Amino acid sequence: MDDRPKVALVTGAGSGIGRAAAIALAGGGYIVILAGRRMERLQNVQAEIEARFGSQNRPYPIATDVSDADQVARLFDELQRRYRRLDLLFNNAGRGNPPGSFLDWSAHQWQEVVGTNINGMFYCLQAAFRLMSTQTPRGGRIINNGSLAAHTPRPNSPAYTATKHAVTGLTKAASLDGRQYDIAVGQIDIGNAMSELAGRMADGVPQANGEISAEPLIDVELVGQAVLRMANLPLEANVLFQTLMATKMPFVGRG
């Protein structure tokens, strides 16, 4: 029986959902590589994990902008050099919509969202496939962070909505292509978890009928635990899509 600690990579690990997932995975016995653009934030998460669980499976921060293919390549080179394998990628890093009306967005603002939410997710998934398909024992799991926006939009959200719809296509295609390599690919679609991105919903956000209404939120630690449960499945089983949302949020139904 292989009793070595499993190795997980979390992108966007410096805050919000990424932080919660990293903490949950570390608590579940994983060695966690923390990737994100801001090293200071990653080090704060590292310190929090060590304070909670000790430094036996010490987390390792690597500053990375996933929209840069060269930085992603360096991330995976360092990961492979230190740990020789990867058991889980939580492909989480993402950007929200640019501020203001989409009528006023610049091409650069659009490309920033696409660069992180689509390109960055692909770069990390591709690099994970390359490692997981050749390591011994072969295989691993990839969990893409989608969104309820992968199913239906909010007002004035074409950048985020379009990229999250693309994530769903990437998940389906990668799940199919992963079969031959024993790589399980799934997606978690999260609605209204308390984070920097979603916290404003408690103050009121535009609804489809034009009103501004506050929306309920769930504790982001619930998302971390959901990611851990998906991660701990044996590779012969896969959660292709999971939706985790505040029970009373306005997602299903009208208005």
**Looking at the annotation, which residues are catalytic?**
160
Count the helices and strands in the chain (H runs, E runs).
Answer: 7, 9
| C-beta of residue 150 within 8 angstroms of C-beta of residue 164 | yes
Does the N-terminal peptide bond of residue 137 adopt cis geometry, omega within 30 degrees of 0?
yes
Q: CA nearest 192: which of 214, 174, 167, 162?
A: 214
Please report which residue ranges of 188-241 form alpha helices under DSSP H: 220-231
Q: Give dist(CA 142, CA 105) in Å, integer.
A: 32
Report which residue type is found at 155: P
Give the three-state DSSP class for 34.
strand
Angle between helices 121-132 and 69-83 (to 10 degrees): 30
Angle between helices 39-53 and 16-27 (to 10 degrees): 30
Angle between helices 107-114 and 158-178 (to 10 degrees): 30
| C-beta of residue 223 within 8 angstroms of C-beta of residue 244 | yes
Q: Give dist(CA 22, CA 247) in Å, integer.
A: 24
